[in-house]
Amino acid sequence: MKKISIALLVCSALLLAACSNDKTTDSTSKQQETKSSQTKESSSTTITSSISSSATDSSSTTDSITTPAAVQQETYEQLKQRTLQSTPADRTNWSNKEWEAFGMALSENGLAMDDSGNIITQAQKDQLDSNNQAQQQNDDTTQDISTDTSTLTGFVNVYGMSPAAYKVQNGMSIEEALRSTPRHMKTSGEIQTGYMEYGIE
């Protein structure tokens, strides 16, 4: 009877031990599954964050790349208007396109430039050109006036009188003045007077 009781106790102990081992194994397995699940979730979160961050960076990069292209280019009309607001100093480094637009703008608006590069109306430009032309003609006329005192014309232009008259004005007698003055330096009246009154040929 004791042997049976001992055998039952041993069997009971073995069964309990086996159950305990199963529970421990189950518990360990569940813990491992939980850890694995947490690891997967963490990894998934990290990957998602990384992808999201990467997408944001990519979007930012795209924005930075497309932003310059989005800048509106200056139209030809805007260019013409800008050139009309320019000063002579602004035009020192202009491109051919800017000069072309400037010329078109001046023509379309009835404007022109003076000699200093200032923008004026075409009417003002015409008046300036007319004044310059008149001044040039005056200068040419002045240059045509002889100032060579070795000629009768030049002497009269400089002194306002003939050489003989100039001599008389400065104290010489008429006869002496006419005799000392070369024929080509006398006026026709002086030649006639010298011949008729003093016999000077």
The answer to whether residue 171 is domain-embedded is yes
pLDDT at 83 over 90: yes
Give the tens place of pLDDT for each residue, 26-80: 555 555 555 555 544 544 444 444 444 554 554 444 444 444 444 568 899 999 9
What is the model's pLDDT at position 147?
Answer: 80
Give the tens place of pLDDT for each residue, 9-23: 666 666 665 555 554
Domain that holds residue 168: 152-198
The answer to whether residue 174 is domain-embedded is yes
Q: What is the total count of domains within the chain?
A: 2
Q: Are 125 and 86 within one domain?
A: yes
Compute CA distances 58 → 54, 66, 174, whole Å. 6, 12, 112
Q: Are 113 and 161 within one domain?
A: no
| 119 neighbors 111 (Cβ within 8 angstroms) | yes
The answer to whether residue 157 is domain-embedded is yes
Q: Are 97 and 123 within one domain?
A: yes
**Diameter of the chain measured on Cα atoms:** 201
The answer to whether residue 175 is domain-embedded is yes
Compute CA distances 177 → 16, 152, 180, whole Å. 169, 15, 5
The answer to whether residue 131 is domain-embedded is yes
| 135 neighbors 129 (Cβ within 8 angstroms) | no
The answer to whether residue 44 is domain-embedded is no
Give the SS3 label for residue 130. Answer: helix
